[in-house]
């Protein structure tokens, strides 16, 4: 049925939107080239899955997923504080690899490559969200909440400080601001929301394994943020919708399903390259990637 299909797409848009907005906070507004964002997604997903599989109620699990991810975000910001530009990008990317290696090898906790199947659908105060429609409503509520929270952060005085740090960290320091603390908070908050997205993802797909969180999954998110434009929440929303929906017709043109996957990636990669070359501000960006 068509509705079921669109509900599925809408849920994906919602989850990726939360993930993209959280990356936007770190990358677009604070200037942190965090290529390791998928690691926070993974940490949130695994935390939430493990907790609920052991009987912890969903509300607690999703919050803890965000908190645990945030803690890692805070931790990561410490040694990376002095790194700039490509070294920061590389270190955060390496962080993704390390998290992947941990989920793969800490088999007593994560079951390694066997993954975690049977993740329960969310249930809050007795209300079960097992149908896709109810899950969509849950996702929309959370996505809206995340959007408004991030919007408030970004338009607040603290948001201005974030952007100042992005534009000229030295000057910001000179003006007396503790840029380390600023980046610390930004990365931790960004990780918090990524963890929330991870939890939603785990409870929707009901199965996760280490291969769900690799550099492959980074590409769509990175594309969304860059194509939508840095420091533009509106751009992120529109880019998420476009990028998630755009490859879908491929499914119906009759390509075998083994082609659809790589074709999606090619489309994303091509658009990313074109935007980087011809329109680095993206669709609605305020700043150029630097």
Q: Give the residue among 91, 71, 94, 95 at the shortest CA–CA distance from 82.
A: 91
Tokens of 271: 């658009």
- The CB-of-46 to another protein minimum distance in angstroms stands at 14
Among 137, 151, 248, 286, binds another protein (CB under 8 A): 248
Determine if 269 is a binding residue for another protein (CB under 8 A): yes
Determine if 10 is a binding residue for another protein (CB under 8 A): no
Report 122-141 residues binding another protein (CB under 8 A).
130, 132
Determine if 5 is a binding residue for another protein (CB under 8 A): yes
Determine if 212 is a binding residue for another protein (CB under 8 A): yes
- The CB-of-239 to another protein minimum distance in angstroms stands at 8
CA-to-CA distance for 140 and 227, rounded, in angstroms?
Answer: 23
Tokens of 217: 């999954």
The helix-helix angle for 215-228 and 257-278 (nearest 10°) equals 40
Determine if 270 is a binding residue for another protein (CB under 8 A): yes
The neighbouring-strand residues paired with 207 are 117
Phi, psi of 36 (to 5 degrees): -100, 15
Sole window of 141-149, 153-161, 176-184, 240-248 interacting with another protein (rule: CB under 8 A): 240-248
Give, in degrees to the nearest 5, the angle at Cα 166 between 161 and 167.
95
- The CB-of-280 to another protein minimum distance in angstroms stands at 7
Q: Give the residue among 110, 149, 118 at the shortest CA–CA distance from 233.
A: 149
Sole window of 50-58, 63-71, 76-84, 146-154 interacting with another protein (rule: CB under 8 A): 76-84
- Please state whether beta strands 207-208 and 127-128 pair in parallel, antiparallel, or not at all (unpaired): unpaired
Nearer to another protein, 121 or 153 (CB): 121
CA-to-CA distance for 52 and 202, rounded, in angstroms?
Answer: 10
x/- map, 82-111, another protein, by CB under 8 A: xxxxxx-xxx--xx-xx-xxx-xx-x----
Report 153-172 residues binding another protein (CB under 8 A).
none
- The CB-of-20 to another protein minimum distance in angstroms stands at 15
* CB contact at 8 A, 92 and 76: yes
- The CB-of-209 to another protein minimum distance in angstroms stands at 6
CA of residue 196 relative to chain centroid, distance: 9
Nearer to another protein, 124 or 266 (CB): 266
Q: What is the 8-class DSSP label of residue 214?
A: S
- The CB-of-207 to another protein minimum distance in angstroms stands at 4
* Residues that contact another protein, how many (by CB under 8 A): 81
Determine if 75 is a binding residue for another protein (CB under 8 A): no
């Amino acid at each position: 049925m068509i509705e079921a299909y669109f509900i599925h797409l809408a849920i994906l848009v919602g989850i990726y939107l939360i993930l993209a907005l959280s990356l936007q906070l770190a990358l677009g507004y604070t200037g942190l080239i965090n290529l390791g964002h998928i690691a926070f997604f993974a940490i949130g997903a695994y935390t939430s899955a493990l907790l609920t599989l052991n009987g912890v109620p969903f509300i607690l699990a999703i919050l803890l997923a965000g908190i645990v991810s945030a803690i890692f975000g805070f931790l990561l910001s410490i040694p990376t504080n002095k790194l700039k530009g490509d070294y920061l990008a590389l270190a955060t990317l390496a962080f993704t690899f390390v998290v992947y290696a941990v989920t793969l090898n800490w088999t007593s906790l994560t079951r390694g490559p066997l993954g975690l199947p049977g993740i329960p659908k969310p249930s809050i105060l007795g209300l079960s969200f097992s149908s896709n429609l109810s899950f969509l409503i849950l996702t929309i509520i959370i996505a809206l909440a995340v959007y408004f929270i991030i919007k408030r952060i970004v338009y607040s005085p603290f948001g201005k400080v974030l952007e100042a740090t992005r534009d000229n960290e030295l000057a910001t320091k000179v003006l007396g601001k503790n840029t380390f603390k600023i980046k610390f908070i930004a990365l931790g908050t960004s990780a918090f929301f990524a963890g929330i997205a991870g939890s939603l993802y785990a409870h929707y797909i009901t199965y996760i394994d280490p291969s769900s969180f690799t550099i492959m999954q980074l590409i769509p998110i990175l594309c969304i943020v860059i194509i939508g434009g840095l420091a533009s929440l509106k751009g992120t929303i529109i880019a998420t919708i476009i990028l998630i929906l755009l490859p879908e017709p491929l499914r119906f043109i009759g390509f075998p399903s083994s082609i659809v996957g790589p074709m999606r990636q090619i489309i994303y990669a091509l658009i990313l390259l074109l935007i980087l070359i011809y329109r680095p501000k993206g669709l609605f960006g305020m700043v150029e990637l630097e």
